[in-house]
Amino acid sequence: MTDARHPRLAHPDARRPRLLLPAAALAAAALLSALAMPQGAARAEDDQAKLMKDGARSFNKCKACHNLVSGPKRMGPDLKGLFGRKAGTYEGYDKYSDAMKASGIVWDDETLAAYLENPKKVVPKGSMAFAGIRKESELTALLAYLKAETAAP
């Protein structure tokens, strides 16, 4: 008698949609996570490429005075091996200011960010005629670019 009044409850197929939903959700989740990995990796590559492009554009402000590694003589020292280098010690460059030579700075992410943001604040009597880069995103890109490019032999 209950069967007749509530056919859906008694029907063997009645519960199927409820089981299908989680199954579909699981399948979708599995598909998404399978897709997410290569997508994430591709995005990281895009980000890195953009950083290098922006950094190279920013370095246009420096390249009249600096070679990334080595090259023809310029007003400023070559930046070869910059990270980890002591300020004012590039061999073959003899125009460092006394202030730079005496600064005691070792170039790393932090010291370079401060110097390039405001050279005169970090080395007040230094001789680099450059106003500085105030835009944080540009500075980040420039530092990433310098790190990649000045490490070349």
* Contacts with ligand HEC, residue ranges (CB under 6 A): 61-62, 64-66, 75-77, 79, 82, 87-88, 90, 96-97, 99-100, 107, 116, 123, 126-130, 133
* CA atoms of 133 and 147, how far apart (whole Å): 17
Shortest CB 61 distance to ligand HEC, Å:
5
Shortest CB 50 distance to ligand HEC, Å:
19
Shortest CB 152 distance to ligand HEC, Å:
16
Contact status, residue 51 vs residue 138, Cβ threshold 8 Å? no
Q: Enumerate helices (H) and strands (E) in the chain, giving the number of each.
A: 7, 0
Nearer to ligand HEC, 3 or 94 (CB): 94
Nearer to ligand HEC, 51 or 123 (CB): 123
47: tokens are 């980000």
54: tokens are 């922006």
Shortest CB 51 distance to ligand HEC, Å:
15
Question: Where are the alpha helices (H) located in 2-127, listed in sequence order?
Answer: 2-5, 7-10, 16-59, 98-101, 109-117, 119-122
Nearer to ligand HEC, 33 or 60 (CB): 60
Contact status, residue 142 vs residue 127, Cβ threshold 8 Å? no
Shortest CB 72 distance to ligand HEC, Å:
14
Nearer to ligand HEC, 11 or 125 (CB): 125
Which residue's CB comes closest to ligand HEC?
62
Nearer to ligand HEC, 2 or 60 (CB): 60
